[in-house]
């Protein structure tokens, strides 16, 4: 089986026997037996650490959970600096979690949450920060200050948490380069290995923002039309 | 970059981040270094739960938790430390709850609890089967809130010592630039994780669990104890060594041999179950985990990750099929000796998490006690290191960057005659066979000789990738050196311990 891996600006082809194996298995095999210089990140091998996100045939995947096909073309994530081969710099994307003030504040002792409350943000708390969503996001590709999908999902996780008593600061923070900048294109949802929809979370944050008295700046500047530039109703 | 802090923490898993938060609360300036990113550490892989005698799912008590822990430890735990950990467990879970960990809940609005092996009650609080992931990410969010500086992709090379021999910082390799950096501090906390990957692919762990912190502590002269105690988890997927959580058995899963017979008490402590499976495998049996009778709805609700992993890595759907399993290295009880203030035998050096040995697991750790340990003793290490750092301000100290280790310089001259990746795999398989679930004196001696020989050959195993930036070939070689040092400690501990005890089983 042949696969090509993007290294610097060029695709380099490798041949190996990897029927039924994962991409991570193949990368490890290539590194340890064919080319010691191949660089990639990995960790848990079981889709929870978020280290091995990359693109195969122009689609974001976790290398540890992607089954290799002959002819696959492997590339690093987009919209971030490539450090070497398939390794990208995740510092900036990570920094948006802090920028979005995605945490519980103030902390709450002995909150009585029931089974239904648990389900409210169970999915959002499955996020592994692999960064696939930032790679797929067309808004982030043109606005590098856009808080982006996983940080906004994290904001919604805490906003929707019954233990949160005051999220005013967070809601205020995500008005700029945040919820209104998203085009609701849904690319983030399609590539998420944990089946999280940041798009849906952003819509919910928009609704919360409206309830807190904020409005869509593009709507405020328009001539009273009831729709955002993507055609969806704006709150 | 400000290269001085009161407290420097190496490792950003659950233990390191808990230590960071508590050191910060104590008024110390804190810096955390990790060879990965904070949410990628081994903690994210813990599935089963965190023990606390809340009694939310039937009667339970702190005393029962202590008794179960001590029993599983086979007399090798420190009762005072166990008592402290189990008593603090309730506060620990309440604290995690208060900062936003999304625990699973009961209808009565309480934290849900389930039974894990060796426990007399349903004591493990869980977040579906993502308990470690959700705890780790919440700790990370909390560190963001507190503005704690976390520097990613820094690999520990050595500890710095001042003229009195006190640890006063660390020498690290910035993986991205390939530059060496010096980070000074009044106190250093090692929270670098365990060493299960000395067994290479015969381990459930992340590829990062190479025992770096322990190897460096050893080379710096810190005492390391009980290294021979390695826990083999009974149920890893047969081909990929991916963990299938103990909760699968806790919820009622069976272990079957090729004849479809049950052959052991599935909820006995892990060492006993692993040996029972090993015995069957020695008889030529294939071993399976059977959760079919739990039903699809229950599996999707309580064990979703298990279903996903079995499908992906073993190509079977556990709702309808048996899951092929075998025991592999999962958790390392041994580690850096610490006193009841989490201080090592070196002044200024503290340790917590799997790399440390707080003597709470003894010869065999109970499921649900590892997440507990990192939170309870992560806190202690953070508080004590901060106190020490503030009391021993380094403004008046001369800046001496004594590092005792020249390996990093030396390796530039190493030849490339032997492939260390081949040796890494060989060591893993050899250790699984000879220093594994069942050990024999002569095989241990043999393993010790092999490790000694490999150590002399390191100078012929130089890296072939000569680039400076992001050289993972180099990092993996440095890890391999640490693996060999840890292997040496494990096998010598195993040789010295003549009598079977818990996970150390000698025939």
Is A65 found in the same domain as A26? yes
Please provide the DSSP assignment of B307-349 as one string: HHHHHHHHS--TTTSPEEEEEEEEEE--EEE--TTSB-SSTTE
Question: Are A84 and B94 in contact (CB < 8 Å)?
Answer: no
Enclosing domain of residue A103: 91-221
Enclosing domain of residue B316: 235-328
pLDDT band at B399 (very low <50, low <70, confident <90, very high): low
> Distance of alpha carbon A234 from its chain centroid, rounded?
24
Of A68, A88, A108, the last residue of a domain is A88
CATH number of the domain that residue A49 is part of: 3.10.20.30
Question: Are B208 and A43 in contact (CB < 8 Å)?
Answer: yes
For the segment B9-45, what is each residue's pLDDT rounded down to a tens digit? 999 999 999 999 999 999 999 999 999 999 999 999 9
**Does B505 reside within a domain?**
no
User: What is the C-alpha radius of gyration for chain B, rounded to an integer number of angstroms?
Assistant: 22
Burial of B154 (0-12, 13-18, 19+ CB in 10 A): buried
Tokens for A71, please give them. 């002819």
For the segment B350-380, what is each residue's pLDDT rounded down to a tens digit? 999 999 999 999 999 999 999 999 999 999 9
Residues shown for chain A: 235
**Does A148 reside within a domain?**
yes
Of A67, A88, A109, the last residue of a domain is A88
**Does B419 reside within a domain?**
yes
pLDDT band at B402 (very low <50, low <70, confident <90, very high): low
Instruction: Establish if B492 touches chain A: CB-CB under 8 angstroms.
Output: no
Q: Is the pLDDT of residue B398 over 90?
A: no
pLDDT at res. B304? 83
**Residue B135, φ and ψ in degrees, nearest 5:** -65, -50
Q: Is the pLDDT of residue B423 over 90?
A: yes
pLDDT band at A225 (very low <50, low <70, confident <90, very high): very low
Of A88, A105, A134, the last residue of a domain is A88
pLDDT at res. B166? 94
**Does B462 reside within a domain?**
yes
Question: Are A103 and B144 in contact (CB < 8 Å)?
Answer: yes
**Residue B36, φ and ψ in degrees, nearest 5:** -120, -130
Instruction: Establish if B97 touches chain A: CB-CB under 8 angstroms.
Output: yes
Is A53 found in the same domain as A23? yes
Is A155 found in the same domain as A217? yes
Of B278, B313, B328, the last residue of a domain is B328
Tokens for A55, please give them. 């693109």
Q: Is the pLDDT of residue A222 over 90?
A: no
Helix (H) or strand (E) holding B22: helix B14-25
Is A143 found in the same domain as A42? no
For the segment A42-80, what is each residue's pLDDT rounded down to a tens digit? 999 999 999 999 999 999 999 999 999 999 999 999 999
For the segment B166-204, what is each residue's pLDDT rounded down to a tens digit? 999 999 999 999 999 999 999 999 999 999 999 999 999
**Does A226 reside within a domain?**
no
> In a mutagenesis test of the A interface, which of B36, B37, B193 is the best target, namely the one with the most A β-carbons within 10 Å?
B37
Chain B residue at shortest CA distance from A37: B465
Instruction: Establish if B258 touches chain A: CB-CB under 8 angstroms.
Output: no
Of B294, B310, B328, the last residue of a domain is B328
pLDDT at res. A228? 46
Is A202 found in the same domain as A98? yes
**CA of A183 to nearest chain B CA: how many angstroms apart?**
27
Chain A residue at shortest CA distance from B210: A43
Percent of chain A's residues with pLDDT above 90 = 85
Q: Note the pTM of the prediction, 2 decimals.
A: 0.95
**Does A231 reside within a domain?**
no
Chain B CB contacts of A51 below 8 Å: 36-37, 40
**Does A109 reside within a domain?**
yes
Nearest to B349, CA basis, from B159, B152, B193: B159
**Does A235 reside within a domain?**
no
**Does B170 reside within a domain?**
no
Contact map slice: A 180-219 vs B, CB within 8 A: none
Q: Please give the tally of structural domains in chain A.
A: 2
Give the ipTM: 0.95
CATH number of the domain that residue B302 is part of: 3.90.700.10
Burial of B436 (0-12, 13-18, 19+ CB in 10 A): buried
Instruction: Establish if A128 touches chain B: CB-CB under 8 angstroms.
Output: yes
Q: Is residue B270 among the annotated active site residues?
A: yes
CATH number of the domain that residue A145 is part of: 1.10.1060.10
pLDDT at res. B243? 93
Is A166 found in the same domain as A98? yes
- pLDDT (mean) for B291-315: 90
> In a mutagenesis test of the B interface, which of A125, A160, A169, A193 is the best target, namely the one with the most B β-carbons within 10 Å?
A125
**Does B259 reside within a domain?**
yes
CATH number of the domain that residue B419 is part of: 1.20.58.100
Pairwise CA distance, residues B436 & B504, whole Å:
8
**Does A145 reside within a domain?**
yes
> In a mutagenesis test of the A interface, which of B14, B41, B95, B100 is the best target, namely the one with the most A β-carbons within 10 Å?
B100
**Does A19 reside within a domain?**
yes
pLDDT band at A224 (very low <50, low <70, confident <90, very high): very low
Chain B CB contacts of A84 below 8 Å: 467, 469-470
Instruction: Establish if A62 touches chain B: CB-CB under 8 angstroms.
Output: no
**Residue B469, φ and ψ in degrees, nearest 5:** -85, 135
Of B266, B296, B328, the last residue of a domain is B328
Nearest to B424, CA basis, from B480, B486, B474, B472: B480
Is A13 found in the same domain as A74? yes
Is A152 found in the same domain as A65? no
**CA of B274 to nearest chain A CA: how many angstroms apart?**
22
Q: Is the pLDDT of residue B250 over 90?
A: no
Percent of chain B's residues with pLDDT above 90 = 90
Is A157 found in the same domain as A180? yes
Minimal Cβ distance to A98: which of B98, B144, B463? B144
Is A177 found in the same domain as A61? no
- Per the DSSP assignment, residues forming a β-bridge with B180 are B173
Q: Please give the tally of structural domains in chain B.
A: 2
Minimal Cβ distance to B105: which of A40, A101, A113? A113
**Does B23 reside within a domain?**
no
pLDDT at res. B116? 86
**Does A13 reside within a domain?**
yes
**CA of B441 to nearest chain A CA: how many angstroms apart?**
33
Contact map slice: B 110-169 vs A, CB within 8 A: 110, 112, 127-128, 130, 133-134, 137, 140-142, 144-145, 152
Is A103 found in the same domain as A72? no
Minimal Cβ distance to A45: which of B94, B110, B242? B242
Tokens for B332, please give them. 């390392």
The residues, ordered by sequence, that sit 6+ positions from A191 with a Cβ below 8 Å of its Cβ are A59, A60, A132, A133, A135, A136
Q: Is the pLDDT of residue B241 over 90?
A: yes
Tokens for B342, please give them. 């989490």
Is A205 found in the same domain as A119? yes
């Amino acid at each position: 089986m042949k696969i090509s891996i993007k290294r610097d600006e060029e695709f380099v082809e490798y041949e190996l026997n990897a029927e039924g194996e994962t991409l991570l298995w193949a990368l490890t095999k290539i590194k340890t037996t064919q080319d010691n210089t191949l660089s990639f990140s990995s960790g848990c091998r079981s889709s929870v650490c978020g280290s091995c996100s990359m693109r195969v045939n122009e689609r974001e995947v976790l290398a540890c959970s992607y089954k290799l096909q002959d002819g696959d073309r492997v590339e690093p994530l987009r919209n971030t600096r490539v450090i070497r081969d398939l390794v990208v710099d995740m510092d900036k994307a990570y920094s948006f979690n802090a920028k979005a003030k995605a945490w519980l504040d103030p902390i709450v002792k002995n909150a009585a949450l029931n089974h239904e409350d648990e389900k409210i943000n169970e999915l959002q708390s499955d996020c592994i920060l692999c960064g696939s969503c930032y790679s797929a996001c067309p808004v982030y590709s043109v606005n590098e200050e856009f808080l982006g999908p996983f940080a906004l999902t994290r904001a919604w996780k805490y906003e929707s948490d019954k233990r949160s008593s005051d999220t005013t600061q967070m809601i205020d923070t995500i008005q700029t380069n945040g919820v209104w900048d998203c085009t609701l294109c849904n690319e983030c949802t399609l590539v998420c290995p944990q089946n999280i929809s940041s798009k849906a979370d952003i819509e919910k944050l928009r609704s919360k923002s409206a309830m807190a008295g904020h409005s869509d700046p593009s709507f405020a500047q328009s001539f009273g039309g009831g729709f955002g530039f993507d055609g969806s109703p704006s709150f | 970059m400000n290269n001085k802090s009161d407290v420097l923490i190496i490792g950003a898993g659950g233990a390191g981040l808990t230590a960071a938060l508590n050191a910060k609360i104590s008024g110390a300036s804190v810096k955390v270094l990790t060879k990965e990113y904070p949410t990628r550490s081994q903690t994210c892989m813990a599935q089963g739960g965190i023990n606390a005698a809340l009694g939310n799912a039937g009667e339970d008590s702190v005393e029962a938790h202590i008794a179960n822990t001590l029993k599983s430890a086979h007399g090798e735990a420190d009762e005072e430390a166990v008592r402290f950990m189990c008593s603090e467990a309730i506060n620990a879970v309440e604290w995690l709850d208060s900062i936003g960990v999304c625990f699973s809940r009961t209808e009565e609005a309480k934290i849900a609890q389930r039974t894990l092996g060796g426990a007399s009650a349903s004591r493990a609080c869980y977040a579906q089967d993502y308990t470690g992931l959700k705890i780790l990410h919440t700790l990370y969010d909390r560190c963001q809130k507190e503005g704690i500086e976390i520097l990613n992709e820094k690999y520990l090379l050595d500890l710095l010592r001042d003229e009195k021999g006190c640890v006063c910082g660390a020498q690290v390799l910035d993986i991205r630039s390939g530059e060496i950096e010096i980070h000074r501090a009044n106190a250093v906390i090692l929270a670098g994780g365990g060493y299960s990957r000395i067994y290479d692919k015969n381990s459930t762990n992340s590829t990062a669990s190479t025992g770096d912190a322990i190897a460096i502590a050893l080379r710096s002269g810190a005492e390391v104890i009980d290294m021979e105690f390695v826990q083999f988890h009974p149920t890893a997927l047969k081909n990929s060594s991916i963990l299938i959580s103990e909760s699968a058995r806790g919820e009622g899963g069976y272990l079957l041999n090729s004849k479809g017979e049950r052959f052991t008490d599935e909820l006995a402590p892990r060492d006993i179950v692993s040996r029972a499976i090993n015995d069957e495998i020695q008889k030529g049996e294939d071993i399976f985990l059977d959760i079919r009778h739990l039903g699809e709805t229950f599996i999707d609700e309580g064990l979703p990750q298990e279903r996903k992993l079995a499908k992906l890595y073993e190509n079977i759907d556990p709702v309808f099929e048996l899951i092929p399993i075998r025991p592999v290295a999962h958790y390392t009880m041994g580690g850096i000796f610490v006193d009841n203030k989490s201080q090592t035998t070196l002044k200024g050096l503290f340790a917590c998490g799997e790399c440390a040995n707080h003597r709470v697991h003894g010869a065999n750790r109970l499921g649900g006690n590892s997440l507990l340990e990192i939170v309870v003793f992560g806190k202690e290490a953070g508080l004590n290191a901060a106190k020490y750092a503030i009391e021993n301000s380094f403004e008046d100290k001369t800046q001496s960057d004594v590092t005792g280790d020249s390996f990093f310089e030396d390796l530039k001259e190493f030849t490339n005659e032997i492939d260390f990746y081949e040796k890494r795999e060989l060591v893993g398989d050899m250790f699984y066979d000879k220093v594994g679930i069942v050990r024999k004196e002569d095989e241990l001696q043999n393993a010790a000789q092999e490790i000694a020989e490999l150590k002399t050959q390191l100078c012929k195993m130089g890296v072939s990738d000569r680039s400076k930036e992001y050289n993972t070939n180099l990092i993996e070689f440095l890890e391999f050196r640490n693996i060999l040092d840890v292997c040496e400690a494990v096998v010598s501990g195993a040789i010295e311990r003549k009598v079977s005890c818990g996970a150390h089983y000698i025939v």
